[in-house]
Amino acid sequence: MSNENRHLSSRDLLNQLGLGDDDPNGLLGNESPDDLLDDLDADPGEILLERLALLNRPHRFAPGDLVTWKPGLKNRRVPRHGRPAVVVEVLAAPLLDSERESGSAYYREPHDLVLGVLWDREPGRGDFVTFHFDSRRFQPWRK
């Protein structure tokens, strides 16, 4: 670890994580916490059943398709909510997330989709990067 990183203030560390004063909702992307929770005023049982139905609504994707998160199913920072990602590859056999802690949201999540996104932070802003995802969480993107 370099000296530069050893003496980070808590404020500097929070800024590096995207949680600083400049962007206190960095992990949420462009969404405010209130926007994310608007629909939670309804019956929680109904919401759970709706989200399960969305998760189980299949879409067939192919390389070159543009996709975005299904409503209420975003579980990662990228791609940002409402932003497109491009399908790079559809895996015939899903790879299971190697998270060992069963309490994690990623525990054994089946990754069957490789998506490309434009990195939106420095360093590397504008670079094309790929990540593995669970295709059930995505739908075709429309402008």
DSSP secondary structure string for all residues of 79-131: SPTT--EEEEEEEEEEEEP----TTSTTTT-EEEEEEEEE--SSSSTT-EEEE
Q: What band does 102 get if pLDDT is binned at 50, 70 and 90?
A: confident
Choose from 8-12, 14-18, 39-43, 119-123 the range with maximum mean pLDDT.
119-123
Residue 21 CA to residue 41 CA, distance in Å, equals 29
Average pLDDT score over residue span 61-74: 96
Residue 35, SS3? helix
- What integer pLDDT is reported at residue 20 of this predicted model? 54
Q: What percent of the chain is predicted at pLDDT more than 90? A: 50
More confident of the two residues 110 and 27: 110
Contact present, 112 and 135 (Cβ < 8 Å): yes
User: DSSP secondary-structure letter at 24?
Assistant: T
Stated pTM of the model: 0.70
CATH number of the 59-140 domain: 2.30.30
Q: What band does 79 get if pLDDT is binned at 50, 70 and 90?
A: very high
- What integer pLDDT is reported at residue 143 of this predicted model? 82
